[in-house]
Structure 1
Amino acid sequence: MIRTWAPDDFWQVAQPLIPVQARRRQGGGKRRADDRAVLAAIVYLVQAGCSWWKLPAQLFGVSRSTAHRRFTQWTVAGLWEQLHQQFLHGLGVISEIDWSRAVVDSISVRAEKRGTSPGQIRLTAANQAARYTYCVTAVVYP
C-alpha cells in the first residue's frame, strides 16, 4: 500500500526535501516511523478527502497521531511548497507545462484590502447585506 500512495519516482523527489529529525540526546524511546509510510498516509488522506480519524492506520503501519504530527512538522518546514516547486520544475524541464497560459488569482496572490485607492469608497447600497442566507427545502421521505 505504501508504494501505491508514494511510488518510487515520487519518493525520489520527496526524500531529499523531508527535514531530517535531530537525534534525541537521551536515547531510547520507540523507533521513528518510516518517512515514506507517513508520506503515503498523508497522500492517501489528501486524495480520499477523509479526516485524520478515518486514516486506516493498519494499511500504512503509521498511527494517526504520528501522521498528523509529521504533517504539521513538514508544513511548518515548507515541504509541500518545495515539493510543488520540484514537480513544476521537473515538468518544465521536459516541456510538459505551457507557461504562456498561466493564471494568477486571489488564491495564488493575496488581494490588497480596500484596493490601492487612497480615499474612502462610499457604500452604494443604503443597507448592508444580510449576514446569513436562509434556504427552505422540502423534506421528502421515501
Structure 2
Amino acid sequence: MIRGCGVARPKPWEVDEELWAVIEPLLPKVERRTRHPGRKRYPDRLVFQGILFVLHTGIAWEHLPQEIGFGSGMTCWRRLAEGTEAGVWPRLHEVLLARLRRANALDFSRAAVDGSHIRAFKGGPKTGRNPVDRARPGSKHHLITDATGIPLAATLTGGNRNDVTQLIPLLQAVPPVRGKRGRPRRRPNLVLGDRGYDHDKYRRLARDLGVKPLIARRGTEHGSGLGAQRWVVERTFARLHQFKRLRTRYEIRAGLHLGLLQLACSIICLRRLRTSF
C-alpha cells in the first residue's frame, strides 16, 4: 500500500486497459477447432501478464507459479514464441513510437548508439566468446535511441561482434514512425557514437542513408563533448537491464530473447508516453 493514501501500487507486470487496447489487436487470432477442440485456450491477457512477470522478475519459465493465475510457464513460453513468429513485438514498438511522435515526445534531431554485453550460459545462435568476460559465451544488445533516450530499435549479436558492425543495421531497423501528417519519419538527422564506431567505411554508409555521423576518433584525447549528448543511450540500457530477464540470456532461440528485448523497449516507450502529457 502507498503510505498515506491507502491505494495499492499496481504491479509492473499488470496489463491495464490502456496497454491491452494496444496489444490485443496485434496478437495472432487462433480459431478453436469445431471437432476435437481440446482444452480451452488460456486467456491471452493473463498469459501476456505472465510473460511480463518473467521479463520483470527473471524467473525461469518452468518456475512461474500457477497460483498467480497467469497459466503455466510453458503456456507463456509458447505464446511468446507465437508472438515472435507473428512479428507482434516489433509492431507493438512501432505503434507506441507513433503515439509518442503524435504527442511530440520523439526527437529525431539526433540519435545515439551503443552496445552492451550479457552472458549466455546455454549458448545458441548469436552467441560468441565474450572478450570482456574471460571468453565465456555471451551475446550483445545493440541499441539506438532518440535524443531523449527513447529506444528506436534494438538488435542482438554474438558477444564477439564489434559495435561498429551494427551501426547500419540499427539505422535500418528504425521503423517508419507515423503519428503525424506527411511521410513517416525513419532516420535521425545525425547519429552519435563512441570510439567503438570509429570507421570511415561506416561513416560513408551512414551518410548514404542521409544520416550525419558524429563519432569520436580513436587515438584522440577524451573530452570530445559527445558524452554530454550520448549518455542517454547508456541510461536507456540501465533501464532495459532493470528487466531481470534481459541481464542474462537464458533463451537458446535468439528470436525469443530478441522478442523480450523488443517488448522491454515497448514498455519503456509506454512509460514515457504516460508522462508526456
Q: TM-score, normalised by structure 1?
A: 0.68
1:102 correspondence with 2:111: yes
Select the residue among 88, 92, 105 that pairs with 1:83.
92
Q: Which residue of 2 aligns with 1:69?
A: 78
* Count of aligned residue pairs for this structure pair: 115
Q: Is the 8 A contact 1:2 1:60 kept in 2?
A: no
Cα distance between partner residues in 2 of 1:10 and 1:103: 27
Q: Which residue of 2 aligns with 1:29?
A: 38
Q: Is the 8 A contact 2:66 2:72 kept in 1?
A: yes
**TM-fit CA distance, 1:2:** 9.0
Residue deviations 1:24-49 (CA, integer Å, cap 9, x gap): 25233111100000111101111112
Unaligned runs of 5+ in 2: 1-9, 116-141, 143-153, 158-164, 167-198, 202-277
1:92 correspondence with 2:101: yes
Runs of 4+ in 1 over 4 A off after TM superposition: 1-4
Higher normalized helix content (fraction of residues): 1
Q: Which residue of 1 aligns with 2:233?
A: none
Cα distance between partner residues in 2 of 1:27 and 1:95: 51
Cα distance between partner residues in 1 of 2:12 and 2:24: 14
Amino acid at match of 1:88: L
Amino acid at match of 2:100: L
Q: 1:99 to 1:54 in 2, by over 3 A?
A: farther
Aligned pairs (5 A) from 1:1-142: 5-105=14-114, 107=142, 108=154, 111=165
Q: 1:19 to 1:25 in 2, by over 3 A?
A: same
Q: Is the 8 A contact 2:50 2:70 kept in 1?
A: no
Q: Is the 8 A contact 2:28 2:83 kept in 1?
A: yes
SS in 2 for 1:69: helix
Residue deviations 1:48-89 (CA, integer Å, cap 9, x gap): 122212212211241112111111111111111111111111
Q: What percent of counterpart residues are identical?
A: 31
Cα distance between partner residues in 1 of 2:44 and 2:37: 19
Residue deviations 1:74-120 (CA, integer Å, cap 9, x gap): 111111111111111111111122222322456246827xx86xxxx
Cα distance between partner residues in 2 of 1:47 and 1:41: 10
Q: TM-score, normalised by structure 2?
A: 0.37
